[in-house]
Amino acid sequence: MNNSYRAVTLDVVDRHTREARVRPYLAFGSKSYFSERTFVRPEMVLGFNNRGLSQFGARLAFGVDF
């Protein structure tokens, strides 16, 4: 019996990559009570990328503590 082997290179069929991007942000706000349980909470959020400020958000929430 004459057995011979040869190496065969196969092309990559599917390649998986993962990428994560992180952007720093800064958030600040306060919570002010109108009575013992009702409150208002204003908040501001700033987001940054490599060119500087990229996102700004403002929120005003009213709520009740139980």
Mean pLDDT across 1-21 = 82
pTM of the model: 0.53
Q: Is 10 a member of any domain? A: no
Question: Quick check: is 1 in a domain?
Answer: no
pLDDT beyond 80 at 50: yes
Phi, psi at 8, each rounded to 5°: -125, 130
Evaluate whether residue 37 is within a structural domain.
Answer: yes
Q: What are the pLDDT digits (tens) for 24-49? A: 889 999 999 999 999 999 999 999 98
Looking at residue 36, what is its pLDDT? 92
- Structurally, the chain folds into a number of domains equal to 1
CA pair distance 48, 13, nearest whole angstrom = 38
Domain that holds residue 55: 25-64
Q: Which amino acid belongs to residue 45?
A: V
